[in-house]
Amino acid sequence: MALDADILLDRRRLKKSVFRWRVVAAIAVLAVILIGLAGTGLNKGVFGTLGPRIVEVTIEGVITEDPYLLDALAAVEEDSDVVGVIVHINSPG
E strand segments, 1-93: 53-60, 82-90
Is the CB of residue 50 less than 8 Å from the CB of residue 38?
yes
Give Rg (Cα) of the chain.
Answer: 26
Residues 66-75 have pLDDT tens digits of: 888 888 889 8
pLDDT of residue 45 exceeding 90, the answer is no
Is the CB of residue 53 less than 8 Å from the CB of residue 63?
no
Residues 13-36 have pLDDT tens digits of: 888 889 999 999 999 999 888 777
Please tell me the pTM assigned to this model.
0.45
